[in-house]
Structure 1
Amino acid sequence: MLEKFTQHIHQNFPFLLDKKVLLAISGGIDSVVLAHLFHQLHISFSLAHCNFQLRGEESNGDEIFVKELAKDLNVTIFSTQFDTTNYAEEKKLSTQLAARELRYNWFQKLTEENQFDFIATAHHADDNLETFLINLTRGTGLEGLTGIPAQNGNIIRPLLIFSREEIENFAKQNSISWREDASNASAKYLRNKIRHQVIPILKEINPKLIQSFNNTSTYLQESHQIIDDRVSEVAEKVTTKNNETLQFNIEKLLQLSNPKAYLYQFLKGYGFNEWDKIYNLLHAQSGKFISTKSHILLKNREFLLFSPTKRGDLNEKSISKIDEGTKKINHPIQLTIQEIDQNAIESKNSIVVDKNLLFFPLIIRKWKNGDVFYPTGMQGKKKVSKFFKDKKLSMFEKNKTWLLCTSKDEIVWIIGMRQDRRFLANSKTSNIIKISK
């Protein structure tokens, strides 16, 4: 195995030979073998061990074992203890998910503080097969069938091509000791059921199951890369970027062979799961939307608009007051207020008003149904909603727009768009204020 591992590192992870690696170690056979392999290849590494305090003295025994291993290999070890049970309860997570979140957050922190280049975990081919079968039973897209990636950012998994059997044989041949986790034998967890009940039957059917799966996984990953390339190519044709908003051209989407599949590929990483409803947005009324905790997808005429959601994007109730004499504000929008001697030309980003017509404090707020103002350059009054409609503003744009009003709630300025003519300064005005974005 050492020869195969050496060749594997030189072919697929040559950068490890002159980088600093943080090796996550549990005390189990896979991580202990990986530590010995790194040591024999003279890779610069340190160990990181998490005691999740879930198995009493057994957990403490694991911690003692890996500290002794660090001494034997003459490498640095970082160790920590987590109150995993309380963390899981606070975060409303399963114990397994809580442990995963705790350890990876800690690994990344260690990496930043100690300038490690990579985090290595000891996942192997059997882990990969188990993950594949778990995803298959739960239902998944192609990415869920490609298995555990050999590298994901700064996380690497150099043992993925090796089976558990190969790792055990290497450990026995080299008199390497390790710790057994008794919970791995329990049928309480889905992964263990698949490991002890399903995979043995599959191996009876195909004794070379791991090798066959490795080949299949490689083919799936290659196919997935082809799909990614095609999705990137199509994305360039059907999308345009406007600040933080991505615009999908509906007409071009509908010309694709399977718009729903492409929308899934575009949006799969943002928490969406109602793919039929997302597809139906293509034919929905303008203004319909679907949102997640982080993003929103909005139908706006001939486009689907995709944007991060920020606090208040859909229903902002925030109100800010400007007292008389204030020169500048920074929240919720930056405005500068100055008294000037003569009238100035109104622009998109500034207005001039007759101070004597204002009632302080001025109010900055979002628009609401029923708002009416008297736009400059027009006769009569107009509903703000109709003004937005005429300008063909999307819901995103409407809800990012602020109004400057008097304390009597009279609109002075749709900020950055149009002033109300009732407050215009003229040549006879003696007290002129200029308000600028």
Structure 2
Amino acid sequence: MLKTFKKHIEDSFPELLESHFIIACSGGLDSSVLVELCHKTNLNFSIAHCNFRLRGKDSDGDESFVREYAIKIEKPFFVTHFDTLGYVNQHKVSVQMAARELRYAWFDQLLAEHNSSYLLTAHHANDNLETFLINLSRGTGIEGLTGIPSKINNIRRPLLSFTRQELESFANDQQMQWREDASNADAKYLRNKIRLEIIPKLNELHPTFSDNFKNTLDYLKQTDGIASAYLQKLKQELFIENNGRVEIEIAKLKELQPLATYLFGLFSAYGFKEMENLEALLDGLSGKQLVSSTHVLVKNREVLILSSKNETKLDTQEYFVTEEEVPLNLPVNLKFTVVSERYNNLDTVIYIQKNTLKYPLTVRKWKMGDYFYPLGLNRKKKLSKFFKDEKVDVLSKEKTWLLCSGEQIVWVIGMRADHRFRVDDTTQEILKIELHD
């Protein structure tokens, strides 16, 4: 197996030959074998161990085992201890989820602190099969049936092409020792039940089941690759960049059939996976929106507007502009200049009577109930009605800033000045305000 592993690293993970990496080692069979293989391949790595304090003396025994192993092979060793149950109670998650969140946060910290390029985990072919069956039992699309990725971000999983039986055979041949976690034999956990009860039955039904599954997984990945390439081409045609956001024509989406399948393929990567909600959005009222953990999708008349949550996060802070100082650290770049004559107002330049202003001026986002007197209209108009008449979509409204004098709006920045501050024949001092990129 060592010879096969070395060839596998050279062919599929050449980056590990050049870079320092960290191996997550629990002390169990899988991660211990991964450490031994990397050591015998003369790779440059350190070892990291998490003590979750869930199994008393056994947890401490795992830590001691991994520490002694690292000393034996002369590799740097990192360890941390977690109050896992405290995290469970605080965040209301399962023990398994808590352990996952805690360890990966720590691994990211380790990689950054020690200038390491990659984290290696010991997932193997049997883990792939178990994940496949778990996803299949819960209901999933093809992305849930293509297995655990061997490379994602800075994580590498070089054992995915090897079965647990191969790992155990190697460990016995090398007379290795490892730690057994008694909880792995508890069939109350879904993954353990699949491992202990379902997979053995599948192997009984067909002696070559494991090899057949590997082939099936390869075929599914190839099919997924073809589908992904087509969807990417479709996105390039449908997802149009416009002023820093993405617009999608609803009519073109509706031409795609089966619609739900296409919607899932196009929008699931942005966290939108409820197809009923997506289909309803297409026929919903303008302004209706869906929010995922990372993105916002808004219907604006005949298009959908897609943007990240960071782009649409509402800034509720108010910024002040004094008369004496050049304004700094504003969310918009404004330049104030006293001039001797005025010209026509533009979207990005306005001229106002300086003596009508009450300092400090305020730059803030709009809120419900705001109104102003649009220049040239000279009567009150709610800002919400102004936005509607100007066909301003929901996301653009949230990005719009106001320049205010006291409670009065001087300028809907980038759009329209207020009539009450206009320059007339009696104006003695003219203030020019410019919006710069």
Calculate the TM-score normalised by the size of structure 2. Answer: 0.92
Is contact 1:313-1:396 (8 Å) kept?
Answer: no
Task: Note if 1:385 corresponds to 2:420.
Answer: no
Is contact 1:343-1:426 (8 Å) kept?
Answer: no
* Of 129-138 and 260-269, the range deviating more from structure 2: 260-269
Partner residue in 1 for 2:396:
397
Is contact 2:267-2:273 (8 Å) kept?
Answer: no
Q: Deviations over 1:74-100 (max 9, x none)?
A: 222212222222122222221111111
Is contact 2:312-2:395 (8 Å) kept?
Answer: no
Choose the corresponding residue for 2:431, options 419, 430, 433: 433
Is contact 2:21-2:118 (8 Å) kept?
Answer: yes
Partner residue in 1 for 2:206:
206
Is contact 2:340-2:430 (8 Å) kept?
Answer: yes
Gaps of 5+ in 1: none
Q: Deviations over 1:229-282 (max 9, x none)?
A: 001000011111134421111122122223322221222133333211111211
Q: Deviations over 1:196-243 (max 9, x none)?
A: 121121111122222111111111111111111001000011111134
Calculate the TM-score normalised by the size of structure 1. Answer: 0.92
Partner residue in 2 for 1:112:
112
Q: How does 1:169-188 map to 2 (within 5 A)?
A: 169-188=169-188
For 2:163, give the aligned amino acid.
S
Is contact 1:329-1:336 (8 Å) kept?
Answer: no
Identity rate, percent: 46
For 2:262, give the aligned amino acid.
Y
Whole-angstrom distance in 2 between the partners of 1:363 and 1:39: 63
Q: Deviations over 1:388-423 (max 9, x none)?
A: 23332111112221233332x333211111112221
Partner residue in 1 for 2:420:
422
Partner residue in 2 for 1:156:
156
Q: How does 1:312-323 map to 2 (within 5 A)?
A: 313=313, 319-320=318-319, 322=321
Q: Deviations over 1:329-361 (max 9, x none)?
A: 534544344444443553322322113333455
* Of 354-363 and 120-129, the range deviating more from structure 2: 354-363
Q: Name the CA shift for 1:12/1:318 in 2 (closer, same or farther; >3 Å).
A: closer
Is contact 1:402-1:415 (8 Å) kept?
Answer: yes
- Residue aligned with 1:328, SS: coil
Partner residue in 2 for 1:45:
45
For 1:137, give the aligned amino acid.
S
For 1:173, give the aligned amino acid.
D
| Residue 146 (structure 1) shift | 0.8
For 2:179, give the aligned amino acid.
R
Q: How does 1:13-162 map to 2 (within 5 A)?
A: 13-162=13-162
Is contact 2:378-2:420 (8 Å) kept?
Answer: no
For 1:308, give the aligned amino acid.
S
For 2:96, give the aligned amino acid.
Q
Query: What is the RMSD computed on CA atoms of the aligned residues?
Result: 2.4
| Residue 159 (structure 1) shift | 0.9
Q: Name the CA shift for 1:311/1:393 in 2 (closer, same or farther; >3 Å).
A: closer
- Residue aligned with 1:48, SS: strand
Moved over 6 A (4+): none
In the alignment of these two chains, the number of paired residues is 435
Q: How does 1:228-239 map to 2 (within 5 A)?
A: 228-239=228-239
Q: How does 1:277-316 map to 2 (within 5 A)?
A: 277-310=277-310, 313=313
For 1:429, give the aligned amino acid.
T
Whole-angstrom distance in 1 between the partners of 2:174 and 2:243: 59
Whole-angstrom distance in 1 between the partners of 2:312 and 2:304: 20
Is contact 2:411-2:418 (8 Å) kept?
Answer: yes
